[in-house]
Structure 1
């Protein structure tokens, strides 16, 4: 849902910018047109992109999923290709040749395969990058050095494998707001450098991670949402140093042990089920609104809504 909202918001912004100065230019840059037509070819000319026709205006929303920015002389700044089960190809390398691209959304394309080409790091102006719910595979590309303007990175629901590069802890933290690597085949231990991440939303759910994930937490961080469910993490939950800003926390389906940490008064969504936690469930904040499903299948938790402690 967050991807859809971001997508619509950006589209509105580009519509506004383009329409306010549409009289300045009726044609997109010829090099952008050439690259887009090459992308269409690399996508095997899907019907989804039938509106991409030579010598027509690829700006002013004549071409599906393409928008130009009036702030940069009608250069293509937005590209969104999605929701096509018939589109079958490898990830088109020519996407890396749209120099002013600020927002790229590739999602719900289950037959898009192959690795994410490293050449995508040429898109140094990218702020929003979503490659989600596709068949792309391979290791996570190392984006950190090139994507200094990145705000949101969503690589969820793919077939990516391997470990998280240590350099992901060195993202430009003043810019990055969210990182979603959930529902892949990632594995191994988290690099300790992730302790430096200070972002609003962090999702690593349903991979094959193991070991300690406590470095993701911190009392001085601005984190709102953390979801590390569906892995094999094992650490002492009670020793976490939680931020007062966290409102949503899902650590379910892991091997986490200990009791509850302090500073959980502001958590409005919680799931700690299927772990090895013990002790009494706190009676603070919104805990009286959480049902049994938030706590079941732990070693020895007790207290409402579970049976009372003896």
Structure 2
């Protein structure tokens, strides 16, 4: 009796389990009453980077006086999980180092550590908004043959723009904005075959724009050299390239800038404002299909406004404080008259027509 009762109870329990949503070897019943079970995703453990790369990162932290910003760089923890760095998923080598300060952590001091040159797989290197980072750009950076992106922006880094940067043949973006770099722009930068953007704006650079910049591989990189102390004429060779953006504003450039224009060009932004340029603007060929930004204010540019400007869909336009004369181009969709007020035209010799006073 006992054995038969035990067997019967066991069979009953197994039957109930087979009907349960959690039963073994059965599909859950399709009803609103059924119990759904969420799959458990395994957690991938954080890897340690290459041991040599880890040693270099710890040296970088030491060279920067062990800032709190790099507190996560603990030799006892896997370095692929450290703040501000990125590892390659396959090789575990360091491919990105981006040291960016914040209002909370402002105690990062020192120079750019020469040891950054000992991260041979590095593709992106960034020092951004670090007011206490000083000194020159170290020559060891030239060892980073895989580097594609170099950003040194808004720091107190000083000294020249080093010609050895031309050795980084894989560079795509070279941005050295908002520092205290001085001296001439090295002509060797035109030897960077993959460069698509060159930003040297907001420094203390002097001398002319290198003639060699016309030999950049076409269409040429965006060239942004504004807010420096560059002088001399704009090299005619710049007319041979066709970048999306060229910004030479707020310098001491003289002479003719018409080489930057062309009816068949694809340039979208031309800013030559606040220089000492002087040329006949009526002879300029406007890139009608591409131009969206044109700023030539505060120069000595003369002549009439090209009639083609009435056909251009401009988002930014300023020709004030020059020596322009004649009627503001009419017709088209009246973009010049409707989209820009009188302040875009003020202080010229004799411009007239809407939005200024009528021509006599």
TM-score scaled to structure 2, two decimals? Answer: 0.68
Q: CA deviation at 1:270?
A: 0.7
Q: CA deviation at 1:25?
A: 7.9
Determine the C-alpha separation between the residues in 1 that align with 2:353 and 2:197.
39
1:291 aligns with 2:346: no
Closer, same or farther: CA 304–138 of 1 in aligned 2, 3 Å: farther
Determine the C-alpha separation between the residues in 1 that align with 2:141 and 2:257.
29
Root-mean-square deviation (Å): 3.0
Deviations 1:40-66 (A, max 9, x none): 344343333333333543434x222x2
Q: CA deviation at 1:296?
A: 1.6
Q: CA deviation at 1:246?
A: 1.0
Determine the C-alpha separation between the residues in 1 that align with 2:71 and 2:159.
30
Task: Decide whether the 8 Å contact of 1:281 with 1:304 is kept in 2.
Answer: yes
Determine the C-alpha separation between the residues in 2 that align with 1:118 and 1:256.
42
Deviations 1:182-232 (A, max 9, x none): 223333333332222321122222223222222222223221112222222
SS of the residue 1:226 aligns to: strand
- 2:354 maps to which residue? 304
1:179 aligns with 2:199: no
Determine the C-alpha separation between the residues in 2 that align with 1:263 and 1:97.
54
Task: Decide whether the 8 Å contact of 2:46 with 2:78 is kept in 1.
Answer: no
SS of the residue 2:59 aligns to: helix
Determine the C-alpha separation between the residues in 1 that align with 2:324 and 2:47.
63
Q: CA deviation at 1:130?
A: 3.0
1:226 aligns with 2:237: no
- 1:80 maps to which residue? 98
Closer, same or farther: CA 294–189 of 1 in aligned 2, 3 Å: same
Closer, same or farther: CA 269–110 of 1 in aligned 2, 3 Å: same
- 1:168 maps to which residue? 213
Task: Decide whether the 8 Å contact of 2:53 with 2:119 is kept in 1.
Answer: yes
TM-score scaled to structure 1, two decimals? Answer: 0.77
Which structure ranks higher in relative contact order (CA pairs < 8 Å, sequence separation ≥ 6)?
A: 1
- 1:4 maps to which residue? none
Task: Decide whether the 8 Å contact of 1:121 with 1:147 is kept in 2.
Answer: no
Task: Decide whether the 8 Å contact of 1:67 with 1:79 is kept in 2.
Answer: yes
Q: CA deviation at 1:234?
A: 2.1
Higher radius of gyration, 1 or 2: 2
Deviations 1:97-125 (A, max 9, x none): 43333333333233433343455444444
Q: CA deviation at 1:307?
A: 1.5
Long gaps (5+) in structure 1? 1-21
Task: Decide whether the 8 Å contact of 2:322 with 2:348 is kept in 1.
Answer: yes
Which is further off, 42-51 or 248-257? 42-51
- 2:306 maps to which residue? 261
Task: Decide whether the 8 Å contact of 1:96 with 1:119 is kept in 2.
Answer: yes
- 1:247 maps to which residue? 292
Match of 2:259 among 215, 223, 227: 215
Deviations 1:72-101 (A, max 9, x none): 734333332334565443344443443333
Give the total of aligned pairs. Answer: 285
Q: CA deviation at 1:133?
A: 2.5
Closer, same or farther: CA 227–108 of 1 in aligned 2, 3 Å: farther
- 1:3 maps to which residue? none
Determine the C-alpha separation between the residues in 2 that align with 1:172 and 1:307.
46
Determine the C-alpha separation between the residues in 2 that align with 1:263 and 1:35.
57
Q: CA deviation at 1:245?
A: 0.6
- 1:133 maps to which residue? 154
Deviations 1:238-297 (A, max 9, x none): 222222211111122222222212433222211112222222112345212111221122
